């Protein structure tokens, strides 16, 4: 099964806090570098779970971009799309002692993917997954719409992750909902906050609502989360769940999410 995941590829700086942040002072932490970005995370988990995975987006051939691309390559992901000389994105993820995370993104040139960067051959796949972050800026939003059109020409299913309730708020919830309706994905992944801000299910899409530690609703099928010895870091758990569902449905989705939260970072 060939799956293309469209979205950002960034250098992920994960700051795992041993204690709460102290304003104007120090907080003990552990820091690691990896690849990140929602589109890249899904592609990485698809490959780790045995899928034929490709990432599609715009990246840079600078230090941040080289490190991030190298990680995806090691995981067996095909890298598609244009490469610029500089400006790759970076995300700082702050992981609290309880495993919850806050993200500080600098998307860099990821938003510059354009329709002219696409071809029918790049979208020859069985499934196209689109990160909602691609819908919050131009020209990448137009590129995402064109990618969906090209993938559908091959008979591919389309899934969309709503990505960020705060970005939806800033873009305008009604406007964003109208855009999702126009794109008409087959499947939508949303967490509780994203579901609330867009007003629930859109069109005829299968609505997959991520409930964190409580599990997930796959349409009308509600499942509990897998038990894990310890939640280390929730970063990327929703991306792992999406990859698992695309390849194997609810059981593999929950298994992948459980694997993700037991390690630091968003990738396998």
Q: Across the chain, where does the E strand assignment appear? A: 2-6, 10-17, 29-36, 52-56, 59-60, 78-80, 83-84, 88-95, 101-108, 127-131, 157-161, 187-191, 206-210, 216-218, 221-223
Give the pLDDT of residue 257. Answer: 96
Q: pLDDT per residue over 6-47, tens digit each?
A: 999 999 888 888 888 888 888 899 898 888 899 999 999 999
pLDDT at 223: 96
Spatial distance between the Cα atoms of 258 and 224, rounded to a whole number of angstroms: 11
Q: Return the pLDDT at 25.
A: 87
Partners of 227 in the beta sheet?
A: none
Q: What is the CA radius of gyration of the chain?
A: 17
* CA contacts within 13 A on the Cβ side of 123: 26
C-alpha to C-alpha distance for 16 and 33, rounded to whole angstroms:
11
- Tell me the average confidence (pLDDT) per consecutive run of 10 residues in the chain, 268 residues long: 96 88 86 90 97 98 94 95 96 82 87 98 98 96 98 97 95 97 98 96 96 94 94 88 98 97 85
Which pLDDT score, from 0 to 100, does residue 40 have? 96
User: CA–CA separation, 185 vs 72, rounded Å?
Assistant: 26
> Which of 139, 141, 173, 174 minimizes the C-alpha distance to 160?
141
All domains of the chain in start order, with CATH: 2-8+37-87+110-261 (3.40.1190.20)
Q: What is the pLDDT of residue 266?
A: 79
């Amino acid at each position: 099964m060939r799956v293309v995941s469209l979205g950002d590829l960034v250098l992920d700086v994960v700051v795992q806090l041993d204690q709460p942040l102290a304003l104007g002072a120090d907080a003990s932490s552990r820091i690691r570098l990896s690849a990140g970005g929602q589109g890249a995370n899904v592609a990485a988990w698809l490959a780790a779970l045995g899928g034929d995975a490709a990432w599609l987006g715009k990246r840079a051939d600078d230090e941040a971009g080289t490190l991030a691309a190298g990680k995806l390559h090691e995981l067996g992901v095909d890298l598609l799309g244009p490469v610029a000389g500089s400006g790759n994105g970076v995300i700082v993820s702050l992981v609290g002692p309880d495993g919850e995370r806050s993200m500080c993104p600098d998307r860099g040139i990821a938003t510059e993917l354009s329709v002219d960067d696409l071809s029918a051959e790049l979208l020859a796949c069985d499934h196209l997954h689109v990160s909602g972050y691609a819908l919050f800026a131009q020209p990448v939003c137009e590129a995402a719409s064109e990618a969906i059109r090209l993938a559908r020409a091959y008979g591919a299913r389309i899934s969309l992750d709503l990505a960020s309730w705060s970005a939806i708020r800033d873009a305008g919830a009604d406007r964003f909902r109208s855009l999702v309706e126009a794109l008409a994905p087959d499947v939508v992944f949303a967490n509780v906050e994203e579901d609330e801000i867009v007003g629930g299910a859109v069109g005829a899409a299968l609505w997959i609502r991520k409930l964190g530690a409580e599990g997930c609703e796959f349409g009308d099928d509600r499942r509990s989360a897998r038990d894990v010895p310890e939640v280390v870091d929730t970063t990327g758990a929703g991306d792992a769940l999406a990859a698992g569902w695309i390849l194997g449905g609810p059981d593999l989705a929950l298994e992948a999410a459980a694997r993700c939260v037991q390690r630091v970072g968003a990738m396998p």
